[in-house]
Amino acid sequence: MLKRRLRKALAAIVGNEHLKTEPAELALYSYDATPQADPAMPDAVVLPGSAEEVARLVELANEQKLPIVARGAGTNLTGGARAIRGGLVVSTQRMNKILSVDESVLQAVVQPGVVTRDLHRAVEEKNLFYPPDPQSHDTCTIGGNLAENAGGPRAVKYGVTRHFVLALQVVLPTGELVRLGARTIKSVAGYDMVSLLVGSEGTLGIITEATLRLIPLPRHRGTVLAVFSSLETAASSVGAILQAGVLPSALEFVDGPTIECIQQHQPIGLPEDARAALVIEVDGAESQVAHETARVISVLESSGATELRQAADQKEAEVLWQARKAAGPALASIAPHKFNEDIVVPITKLPQAVSGIHEIAKKHGVACACFGHAGDGNIHANFLVHPEDLRQAQEVHKAVEETFQLVLSLGGSITGEHGVGTTKQAFLGKELSPTVMTVMRKIKDALDPNGIMNPGKIFPTGFLIGPNDEAQIH
């Protein structure tokens, strides 16, 4: 229950119309896209309209030792946008302006509430390109992308969100409004605080503005769909394409169980015996696209693809892309209660990872479907579970833990783009040493001495518990 004096102070900052305290209103902000997560009710939700208002809100929260969680569109898949310790949710949905798109320096300045797809469209109208394209780009926001260092299919060629951030305006956990980075391509003045904030999952501050790097829009694209009768052959073909000297703008993978789900949800005419498929896209100048597409097809033929389809134009390309883009919605429709783990491994280990995950699933008697960004080794392993089958749920948890062990044994990581949040806290120590986590925690404590900024996220429960942590546990 929000104290009257605190409610009055919050309303004085954002206005009564932008302060939400009614149970029905709070319920809308009590969850994100994390599967099977219990609601986490905040004490209040505020919708600031400026960086200055955010700074005043954080300053107040710091004084009151009130937990504070920044929130974009709520598309997070690891519990990062949930107020698990109550407190204040700061929604950036009103801060949704593209402040500038400057063709002369190839930069855009945006507020955190800008929807990623809206930024794509705005810069493409000026023949510019912002490559990061997470699966939820139609709804997710730039602020959330920055907090999670989001990737997407284009990461294989262009990199992830961090690679396109030049400067940030940030409210630190104690309420100071600062600017980090520079609007220049090069800057090594002091520590790289921009990279520290990007991917910090809202635990080190609230981003209120971002200066993003743009590149010229590729003029042409070529798209190829390859079907395989063997899972391992498809996975091996990923490395073969890269070794052939082609760097695709996207190289996506779907396995047999995913194809079956897609065919049930939205039939796209793939063969019934297809055990895997790849969608490959190249971009650039017309001659370059023609050459690289031919090279990709040659590699796929040599690698054992049983069927190849090449798009003649953009319309046909969109049809081929359905083999990948329909994967998430199809699985969500057929198996809404699933665990989606975004593991990543070195490209050479991809065949071992995918086949190993399926072996683990079979061992535990659970269904599994894998798809994702094979070009950078990032696979989404989906373990399907019936919500009322307690034994199956227990087996899924065992399968997830063994999957992480497998991935780490192959030199990979437990998360490529979804972050740690709350769902992967227990496994962080399997990838990072206690010394490394201690250093991270020291950084967190230095910037956030009262432990208010998205508390209870990333670090395993009980790791370096101090007075500030204990104060936040209700």
Domain ranges of the chain: 4-91, 98-216, 220-328, 335-409, 425-472
Confidence of residue 188 (pLDDT cuts 50, 70, 90): very high
% of the chain beyond a pLDDT of 90: 87
With 60 as the cut, is the pLDDT of residue 312 above it?
Answer: yes
Fold of 98-216: 3.30.465
With 90 as the cut, is the pLDDT of residue 232 above it?
Answer: yes
Confidence of residue 3 (pLDDT cuts 50, 70, 90): confident
Beta bridge partners of 379: 343, 372
With 50 as the cut, is the pLDDT of residue 472 above it?
Answer: no
pLDDT of residue 190: 96
Question: Quick one: average pLDDT of 47-69?
Answer: 98
Confidence of residue 422 (pLDDT cuts 50, 70, 90): very high
Q: Please tell me the class of the 220-328 domain.
A: alpha beta
pLDDT of residue 333: 83
Return mean pLDDT, the chain: 94
pLDDT of residue 470: 42
- CA gap 211, 202 in Å, rounded: 18
pLDDT in tens, 264-310: 888 888 887 899 999 999 999 999 999 999 999 999 999 999 999 99
pLDDT of residue 176: 98
User: Out of 19-33, 113-127, 178-192, 459-473, which region has the weakest mean confidence (pLDDT)?
Assistant: 459-473
With 80 as the cut, is the pLDDT of residue 323 above it?
Answer: yes
Smallest CA-to-CA distance from 169 within 105, 115, 95, 119 is with 95
Confidence of residue 467 (pLDDT cuts 50, 70, 90): very low
Question: Quick one: average pLDDT of 427-431?
Answer: 97
Question: Quick one: average pLDDT of 190-197?
Answer: 97
- Whole-model pTM: value is 0.94
With 60 as the cut, is the pLDDT of residue 324 above it?
Answer: yes
pLDDT of residue 236: 95
Question: Quick one: average pLDDT of 309-320?
Answer: 94
pLDDT of residue 464: 57
Give the architecture (CATH level 2) of 335-409. Answer: 2-Layer Sandwich (3.30)
Q: Please tell me the class of the 4-91 domain.
A: alpha beta
Return the higher-pLDDT residue of 466 and 104. Answer: 104
pLDDT in tens, 4-36: 999 999 999 999 999 999 999 999 999 999 987
pLDDT of residue 471: 37
Confidence of residue 85 (pLDDT cuts 50, 70, 90): very high
**Can you say whether residue 372 is alpha, beta or left, with left for phi > 0 and alpha for psi between -120 and 50 degrees?**
left
With 70 as the cut, is the pLDDT of residue 252 above it?
Answer: yes
pLDDT in tens, 135-186: 999 999 999 999 999 999 999 999 999 999 999 999 999 999 999 999 999 9
% of the chain beyond a pLDDT of 70: 97
Confidence of residue 387 (pLDDT cuts 50, 70, 90): low
Question: Quick one: average pLDDT of 463-473?
Answer: 48
- CA gap 162, 316 in Å, rounded: 32
